[in-house]
Amino acid sequence: MRAPTFRRLLNLWPPFLFNSIRVQQVAEDWSEASVVLKLRPWNRNYVRTQFGGNLFAMTDPFWMLLAMHQLGDAYYVWDKAGAIEFVAPGKEDVYAHFRLDPAVVDELRIAAAGGEKVLRWFEVDVTTASGEVVARVRKQLYVRLKPKAR
């Protein structure tokens, strides 16, 4: 599937659609993605700031998706673990930008070449439009070359 088509489908996915999470961009080569979480009355927490679950949800699938599409069908790519650090209250719309460097993709290929599992952490900051960090999200990916490709 082409990246722009996938972006449109993600924007219709109920967990994103109903929580005002919008995928703004997915690069044609799957190297980058940008996401915005709009602050709305229905997705605020008790103290009227961004709900932490939505901050995590807006970042959840992207490291896996970018790696999966860049590595190709010969690899298993799964989320293994995740963590979020809340840095400041999100009192406005927030943004996350993911960039998966080709050198990192090459490192994953080399590390998984013998069929062993590879665990790698990736981090993204969730920021306001002015660049203030609201949260830091870490995701650990599991990557392994499929048996038929070894």
Condensed to tens digits (0 to 9), the pLDDT of residues 92-129 reads 999 999 999 999 999 999 999 999 999 999 999 999 99
Mean pLDDT of 83-97: 97
Please state, in angstroms and rounded to a whole number, the distance separating the CA atoms of residues 94 and 56.
12
pTM equals 0.93
Residue ranges of the domains in the chain? 3-149
User: Which of helix, strand or coil describes residue 121?
Assistant: strand
| Strand ordering across the sheet containing 133-145 | 21-26, 32-37, 94-99, 118-127, 133-145, 75-86
Q: Which residues make Cβ contacts (< 8 Å) with residue 66, sequence separation at least 6? A: 30, 31, 32, 33, 98, 100
* CATH architecture designation of domain 3-149: Roll (3.10)
| Mean pLDDT, range 39-44, rounded to an integer | 94
